[in-house]
């Protein structure tokens, strides 16, 4: 690893260590609010209202892949397991997966995340850039990965769907975390237009993306999330350049085994709208997370990771499955 890469790795570890300490402090704080111990009220091992500290990260290689007009920063846990490439939300970067990185690696998968152009450590975006699919393909080829599991959170799901339409043979599975997928159907866009009221765009990212249950009991977790958002966006993040404009007809051509997640408090992709998508995906499972807004992988990470690993290993979940 070069000297600049070592410095980047040190900065990333310091940032995530700070987030880990902050979320660890959240557990006793929330007990004052009357939050039950994990499973006390529900019989589950991951009560929705129990904060979870960010876990220690496993060792990962960090570096850059050269792409036309710039470079992309990534981390890679390595190993011989099936690769899982994680595509961050519009408010994130490769830093956004601290709950998933160790969970995937410890379950035998090779976890990889990268920062799209304009986000943490990657080159700024320009109008001359190629598509986000071209960048993702360059990363996979650079890492000598033929087929892989692809995961897209929110805006990352737009890129994931674009890739699934353009290169279906490269995918083992497709997971879309609370994503609108870039669908351009009038009925879909009309439904989306009715969700958010006047002034929504002026709210903070945490108000828009983290649910009220999470914000009520886990202020330190909110702070850690906001810090990662802040670190992820040194430049205004552009909308990723896409090669397809998904319609219902195009969505129906996706035959890759797919997982759709939704939160019952999601202000971007509530369950009724997610179910519109499921009607057109012939090979999809779905999960609805209770007391979750737009980020189940952050708001209820243990529950998300458990179901996600099951899906990667071949499990299917009937529509209407609640977690």
Mean pLDDT of all residues in 195-213: 87
pLDDT cut 70: percent of the chain above it: 84
Q: For residues 2 and 231, which has the higher predicted lDDT (pLDDT)?
A: 231
Question: Which domains, and CATH codes, for the chain?
Answer: 3-32+43-312 (3.40.50.1820)
State pLDDT tens for residues 148-158. Answer: 999 999 999 99
pTM for the structure as a whole = 0.87
| Whole-number pLDDT of residue 58 | 97
| Whole-number pLDDT of residue 290 | 95
| Whole-number pLDDT of residue 235 | 59
If DSSP states are collapsed to H, E and C, what string results for 51-95?
CCCCCCCCCCEEEEEEECCEEEEEEECCCCCCEEEEECCCCCCHH
**The two three-digit tokens of residue 12, written as one number:** 């990333």
Yes or no: say if 206 and 182 are a contact pair by the CB < 8 Å rule: no
Binning pLDDT at 50, 70 and 90, where does residue 213 land?
Answer: very high
| Whole-number pLDDT of residue 207 | 86
| Whole-number pLDDT of residue 42 | 37
| Whole-number pLDDT of residue 19 | 55
Mean pLDDT of all residues in 3-8: 50
State pLDDT tens for residues 12-40. Answer: 555 565 555 455 444 433 323 333 333 33
Mean pLDDT of all residues in 154-163: 97
Main-chain dihedrals φ then ψ at residue 319, nearest 5 degrees:
-60, 135
State pLDDT tens for residues 249-300. Answer: 999 999 999 999 999 999 999 999 999 999 999 999 999 999 999 999 999 9
State pLDDT tens for residues 95-129. Answer: 999 999 999 999 999 999 999 999 999 998 888 88
SS3 322: strand
For the chain, give the mean pLDDT.
87
Which strands sit side by side in the sheet containing 284-289, from one edge to the other? Answer: 61-67, 70-76, 110-114, 83-87, 148-153, 171-177, 258-263, 284-289
Yes or no: say if 159 and 240 are a contact pair by the CB < 8 Å rule: yes
pLDDT at 229 over 80: yes
SS3 232: helix
Query: What torsion do the CA atoms of 54, 59, 63, 65 make, to the nearest 10 degrees?
Result: -90
Is the four-CA dihedral 178, 181, 187, 193 of positive or negative sign? Answer: positive
pLDDT at 5 over 80: no
Yes or no: say if 175 and 259 are a contact pair by the CB < 8 Å rule: yes
Yes or no: say if 294 and 180 are a contact pair by the CB < 8 Å rule: no
Q: DSSP characters for 98-111?
A: TTHHHHHHHTT-EE
Tally the residues of the chain.
Answer: 323
pLDDT at 234 over 70: no
Nearest to 299 by CA among 275, 323, 280: 323
| Whole-number pLDDT of residue 233 | 86
| Whole-number pLDDT of residue 57 | 97
Mean pLDDT of all residues in 87-93: 95
**The two three-digit tokens of residue 271, written as one number:** 């369950």
Residues 6+ apart with CB under 8 A from 203: none
Nearest to 228 by CA among 20, 3, 71, 32: 20
**The two three-digit tokens of residue 156, written as one number:** 């990352």
């Amino acid at each position: 690893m070069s000297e600049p890469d070592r410095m980047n790795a040190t900065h990333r570890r310091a940032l995530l260590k700070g987030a880990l300490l902050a979320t660890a402090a959240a557990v006793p704080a929330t007990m004052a609010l009357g939050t039950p111990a994990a499973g006390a009220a529900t019989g589950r091992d991951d009560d929705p209202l129990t904060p979870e500290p960010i876990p220690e990260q496993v060792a990962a290689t960090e570096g850059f892949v050269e792409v036309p007009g710039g470079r992309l920063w990534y981390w890679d846990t390595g190993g011989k397991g099936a690769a899982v490439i994680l595509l961050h939300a519009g408010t994130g970067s490769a830093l956004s997966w601290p709950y998933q990185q160790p969970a995937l690696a410890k379950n035998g998968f090779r976890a990889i995340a990268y920062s799209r152009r304009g986000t943490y450590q990657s080159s700024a975006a320009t109008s001359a850039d190629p598509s986000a699919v071209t960048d993702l393909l360059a990363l996979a080829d650079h890492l000598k990965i033929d087929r892989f599991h692809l995961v897209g959170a929110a805006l990352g799901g737009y890129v994931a769907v674009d890739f699934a339409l353009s290169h279906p043979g490269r995918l083992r599975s497709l997971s879309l975390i609370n994503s609108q997928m870039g669908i351009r159907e009038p009925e879909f866009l009309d439904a989306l237009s009715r969700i958010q009221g006047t002034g929504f765009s002026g709210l903070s990212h945490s108000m828009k993306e983290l649910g009220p249950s999470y914000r009520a009991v886990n202020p330190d977790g909110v702070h850690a999330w906001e810090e990662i958002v802040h670190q992820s966006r040194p430049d205004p993040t552009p909308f990723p350049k896409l090669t397809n404009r998904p319609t219902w007809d195009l969505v129906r051509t996706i035959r890759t085994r797919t997982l759709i997640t939704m939160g019952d408090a999601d202000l971007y992709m509530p369950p009724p709208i997610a179910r519109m998508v499921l009607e057109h995906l012939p090979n999809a499972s779905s999960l609805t997370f209770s007391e979750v807004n737009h980020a189940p992988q952050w708001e209820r990470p243990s529950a998300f990771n458990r179901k996600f690993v099951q899906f990667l290993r071949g499990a299917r979940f009937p529509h209407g499955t609640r977690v």
